[in-house]
């Protein structure tokens, strides 16, 4: 099972460093986790992820369940082997996908019935099945199936979603404790059709399960959700349902309220966030883990991150620009290529463009987190934060 | 200027090994040249090309002239620097593109007027300008502007094209000899609009120009074309206008007739060819150089080369296949990934799929040429050829 130890705390903020120990190695927090929805962080190789110093990546339960499917992943003995990644993997439960692909999903107390966005075939996720699939994926950190809502949502909608989320969290946790936590026989995971699919607790390796706090944009509901989940005693806690369309200030307000409610001796994860500014602000609130498609998706749209802010590589001003994206950046892309070349590749829709842009953006995010960790360790996180904002050209 | 030396000749065929010396290093022939039309071999990095042991790659004059344009390439001081490739580059003249994009091109004695396939803007290539652009690209081996025709074509069409090709070859060669071959001042290349674009003979480095034999599928015309070009005394010769829709047997017949007409002390290059079988057959005819989009384009369509023949990675039979594409292949893809993973990536349209497939196919082609070279050196090319066919599952 997962262990977490806080290494150093910042004096004047809640920022902290720590170490999460998993079956696939240690993770130094606070961390940013690149998103590899379908078993690949889009356009980059696992070697390039390591060059960017990625410590852990995300997989998505909903997407991997549909494609390639549990039969394939279990046959190859887990997502790590399948995609040739030997560091930790966290898997999202699919809750967010049922929200974002809501037209295809029907919620009940029991679980979620849905139609595949690929071929329209019918499927059902229960909290137990979400854990089981993640065990088959061989995830190091599994997420409870949650009921995610958008913004705006009424208080009663938010309450309903949080109540369902707590009930599902308990069911998933019970399933995990009985089927995954202890050594199990290969016949003890039984809800999937073929007995040959049944994993021994993630291929014999200990794994972990996090609860997800919901409650919409209502502070009192966030408090209730946190309290109920803490009662269940998860190995770690996530804040879900943020970055779903609300203004940044509201997101900060809810995070500021919610994060301190979570146990300080467990990892705290804010899901789906965010911009570099969001990361720094939330590290200051005591958040340990982040994930977001922003660096990789924006890279594929030509938006590149620098300390001064973002640039769009298709800009005509870069046509004859022989400088790298950022002269101070140590990534492969900046060490090897000019903005003029990157602009040309991007405008010509050359496949290499997506890779080179993604490497730069992931390096930027991961290097930012590394600098944040260092500044906390060195006791000058507040100074670092100030410098970060002073460099930004608004 | 380019040097060529034959190293070893096969006893019972015309197959031979040799060394081409360029400003960017030596090339061991016979070679296959990966195609990097727009300054990138689609989906792969220059490091990956080197891992596949690519010795020289192609760029395309027509495409690079339109995008990013000579102003960009000259500003960055050549295609090598632009794309971070320090080995030799051969550039096609654009002749084939005027043929394949014929609707947009109007031929005259003077040259080709055409509209950009990107924005419809009007442009004109003359034989002189084709050389000048290639000098600006910094190409190591430039190709004469030729008049390419398809199959079928009448004898008079073929004769007209060959006559034009010879006239253009002479004009291009004269231009190259007067402007590029000897040290030139920066004002001596003058047909492009801005004087600041004018290169000193490929950034001070010696370069070379090949003539292109045309003549359609008429042996006597091929002989006339070869004779006229040899008269002009080019540093190397290419056979163009093959693999333009004719049956394989006819292509072999024309190549078999034409290649031996070319001087044995100069490199012989058959353009746009072909399958692994085509390469072996034409090496036996004495061909030293090949290029083709087949390994890279087919990779992006899921077709992968093996010694037993091609496979399509999207095939359902690979769903649970934990083996690599080819157990005996030493490429990055085969060392790291299963067919099941490659099938999943390809079916999910993950960008990584195109890269991993392309690496495998390029490695296959380049390794095939390496084995061919070794077999010629070892005196057992005929045995190698026999084994090659015996492994193929028809």
Last residue of one domain, picked from the residues A225, A258, A292: A292
* Res. B178 pLDDT band, cuts 50 70 90: confident
B119 to chain A: which residues are within 8 Å by CB? none
Domain presence at residue A63: yes
Catalytic residue ranges of A: 92, 291
Contact B350 A84 (CB under 8 A): no
The pLDDT of residue A195: 39
Percent pLDDT > 90 in chain A is 88
**Known catalytic residue at B291:** yes
Contact B354 A352 (CB under 8 A): no
- Predicted confidence (pLDDT) per residue in A17-66, tens digit: 999 999 999 999 999 999 999 999 999 999 999 999 999 999 999 999 99
Per-residue pLDDT tens over the stretch A209-220: 999 999 999 999
The whole-angstrom distance between B74's CA and the closest CA on chain A is 10
HEC letters along chain B: CCEEEEEEECCCCCCEEEEEEECCEEEEECEEECECCCCCCCCCCHHHHHHCCCCCEEEEHHHHHHCCCHHHHHHCCCHHHHHCCCCCEEEECCHHHHHHCHHHEEECCCCEEEECCCCCCEEEECHHHHHHHHHHHCCCEEECCCCCCCCCCCHHHHHHHHHHHHHHHHHHHHHHHHHHHCCCCCCCCCCCCCHHHCCCCCCCCCCEEEEEECCCCCHHHHHHHHHHHHHHCCCEEEECCCCCCCCHHHHHHHHHHHHHHCCCCCCEEECCECCHHHHHHHHHCCCCEEECCHHHHHHHCCEEEECCEEEECCCHHHCCCCCCCCCCCCCHHHHHCCHHHHHHHHHCCCHHHHHHHHHHHHHHHHHHHHHHHHHHHCCCHHHHHHHHHHHCCC
What average pLDDT is seen over chain B?
Answer: 93
Residue range A352-359: mean pLDDT, rounded: 98
Winning range, highest mean pLDDT, from A199-208, B105-114, B302-311: B302-311
Same domain, A262 and A377: no
Residues A283-328: tens digit of each pLDDT:
999 999 999 999 999 999 999 999 999 999 999 999 999 999 999 9
Residue B190: pLDDT over 90: no
How does DSSP classify residue A70? H
Same domain, A222 and A308: no
**Touching check for B208 and chain A: CB below 8 Å?**
no
| B393 pLDDT tier (thresholds 50, 70, 90) | confident
pLDDT at A102: 63
Q: Are residues B308 and B285 in the same domain?
A: no
Q: What would the two tokens of residue B94 be?
A: 């654009």
Asked whether the beta carbons of residue A340 and residue B45 sit closer than 8 angstroms, the reply is: no
Report pLDDT for A183. Answer: 46
The average pLDDT across B62-67 equals 97
State the smallest CA–CA distance between residue B33 and chain A in angstroms. 19
User: Active site residue: B119, B291, B323, B378, which one?
Assistant: B291
Q: Does the pLDDT of residue B235 top 90, yes or no?
A: yes
In this structure, are residues B179 and B189 in contact, taking their beta carbons and an 8 Å threshold?
yes
B90 and B129 housed in the same domain: yes
pLDDT band at B319 (very low <50, low <70, confident <90, very high): very high
Listed residues B257, B292, B327: the one ending a domain: B292
pLDDT at A190: 45
What pLDDT shows up at residue A193? 42
Residues A43 and A117 in one domain: yes
Decide if pLDDT at B194 tops 50: no
Tell whether A102 is covered by a domain.
Answer: yes
| Cβ contacts of A76 on chain B, cutoff 8 Å | 320, 322, 338, 340-341
Q: Is A1 on the interface with B (CB under 8 A)?
A: no
B71·A320 Cβ contact <8 A? yes
Task: Flag whether B390 is in a domain.
Answer: no
Q: Which of A62, A69, A72 to mutate to test the interface with B (most CBs of B within 10 A)?
A: A72
Beta-carbon separation of B84 and A320 below 8 A: no
Distance of CA B297 to the CA centre of its chain: 14
B194 touches chain A (CB under 8 A): no
Q: What is the ipTM of this complex?
A: 0.96
pLDDT for B394: 65
What's the mean pLDDT in A341-359? 98
In chain A, the DSSP E strands lie at 3-9, 16-22, 25-29, 31-33, 57-60, 89-92, 105-107, 112-115, 122-125, 141-143, 208-213, 236-239, 268-270, 289-291, 303-306, 309-312
Which of A292, A313, A329 marks a domain boundary?
Answer: A292
Same domain for A131 and A225, yes or no, is yes
Asked if A288 and A335 sit in the same domain, the reply is: no
Judge whether B393 lies within some domain. no
3 state SS of A159: helix
CATH of the domain at B120: 3.20.20.105
- Residue B203 has what pLDDT? 85
- Domain with B338, as residue range(s), is 302-384
If you average pLDDT over every residue of chain A, what do you get? 93
Residue B287 counted as domain residue: yes
Domain count, chain A: 2
Nearest-by-Cβ selection for B338 from A76, A322, A340: A76
Task: Give the per-residue pLDDT at A23.
Answer: 93
Nearest CA in chain B to A320: B72
* Residue that wins the pLDDT comparison between B315 and A97: B315
pLDDT tens per residue across span A289-300: 999 999 999 999
Dihedral of CA atoms A246, A252, A257, A263 in degrees, nearest 10, equals 110
A-chain residues within 8 Å CB-CB of B75? 320, 322, 340
- Judgement on whether residues B37 and B130 belong to the same structural domain of the protein: yes
A135 plus A18 within the same structural domain? yes
Mean pLDDT of B54-58: 98
**Which of A43, A322, A336 is closest, CB to CB, to B84?**
A336
Is residue B297 a part of any domain in this protein? no
State the Cα–Cα distance between residues A109 and A168, nearest whole angstrom.
8
- B91-133 pLDDT tens trace: 999 889 988 876 678 999 999 999 998 999 999 999 999 999 9
The mean per-residue pLDDT over the stretch A346-351 comes to: 98
CB A180 within 8 A of CB A203: no
Q: Is the pLDDT of residue B196 over 70?
A: no
B76 contacts on A by Cβ (under 8 Å): 320, 322, 338, 340-341
- What is d(CA A317, CA A375) in angstroms, rounded to the nearest whole number? 35
Q: Considering the domain boundaries, does residue A66 fall inside one?
A: yes
Residues A267 and A335 in one domain: no
Among A71, A320, A355, the residue with its CB nearest the CB of B72 is A320
pLDDT score of A182: 60
How much is the average pLDDT of A331-357? 98
Q: Given B92, B140, B146, B288, which residue is catalytic?
A: B92
**pTM for the full predicted model:** 0.96
pLDDT in tens, A97-123: 988 876 678 999 999 999 998 999 999
Statement to judge: residues A183 and A138 lie in one domain: yes
The pLDDT assigned to B248 comes to 98
Q: Are residues A212 and A310 in the same domain?
A: no
Q: What's the confidence (pLDDT) of residue A204?
A: 84
Statement: residue B188 has pLDDT above 70 = no
Instruction: Residue window 324-363, chain B: list those with CB within 8 Å of chain A.
Output: 336-338, 340-341, 343-345, 347-348, 350-352, 354-355
Assess if residue B160 is contained within a domain: yes
* Minimum mean pLDDT range among A91-105, A139-153, B300-314: A91-105
Chain B residue numbers with beta carbons less than 8 Å from the beta carbon of A340 are 68, 72, 75-76, 82
Share of chain B above pLDDT 70, in %: 94
């Amino acid at each position: 099972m997962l262990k977490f130890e806080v290494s150093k705390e910042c004096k004047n903020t809640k920022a902290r460093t720590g170490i999460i120990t998993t079956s696939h190695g240690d993770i130094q927090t606070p961390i940013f986790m690149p998103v590899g929805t379908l078993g690949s962080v889009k356009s980059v190789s696992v070697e390039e992820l390591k060059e960017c110093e990625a410590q852990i990546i995300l997989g998505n339960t909903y997407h991997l369940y549909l494609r390639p499917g549990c039969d394939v992943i279990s046959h190859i003995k887990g997502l790590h082997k399948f995609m040739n990644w030997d560091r930790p993997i966290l898997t999202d439960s699919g809750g967010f996908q049922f929200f974002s692909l809501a037209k295809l999903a029907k919620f009940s107390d029991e679980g979620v019935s849905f139609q595949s966005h690929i071929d329209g075939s019918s499927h059902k996720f229960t909290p137990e099945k979400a854990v089981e699939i993640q065990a088959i994926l061989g995830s190091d950190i599994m997420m409870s199936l949650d009921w995610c809502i958008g913004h705006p949502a009424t208080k009663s909608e938010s309450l309903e979603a949080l109540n369902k989320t707590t009930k599902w969290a308990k069911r998933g946790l019970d399933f995990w404790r009985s089927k995954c936590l202890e050594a199990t026989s290969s016949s003890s995971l039984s809800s999937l059709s073929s007995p040959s699919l049944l994993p021994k607790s993630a291929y014999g390796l200990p794994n972990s399960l996090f609860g997800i706090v919901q409650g919409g944009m209502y502070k009192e509901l966030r408090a209730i959700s946190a309290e109920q989940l803490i009662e269940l005693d998860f190995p770690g806690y996530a804040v879900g349902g943020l970055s779903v369309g609300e203004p940044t200030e509201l997101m900060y307000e809810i995070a500021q309220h919610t994060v301190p409610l979570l146990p300080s001796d467990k990892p705290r994860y804010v899901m789906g966030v965010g911009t570099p500014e969001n990361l720094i602000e939330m590290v200051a609130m005591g958040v340990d883990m982040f994930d977001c498609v922003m660096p990789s998706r924006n890279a594929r749209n030509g938006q590149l991150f620098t300390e001064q802010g973002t640039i769009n590589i298709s800009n005509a001003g870069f046509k004859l620009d022989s400088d790298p994206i950022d002269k101070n950046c140590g990534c492969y892309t900046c060490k090897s290529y000019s903005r003029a070349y990157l602009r040309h590749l991007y405008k010509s829709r050359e496949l290499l463009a997506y890779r080179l842009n993604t490497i730069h953006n992931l390096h930027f995010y991961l290097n930012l987190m590394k600098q944040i960790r260092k500044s906390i360790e060195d006791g000058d996180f507040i100074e670092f934060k100030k410098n970060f904002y002073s460099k930004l050209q608004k």
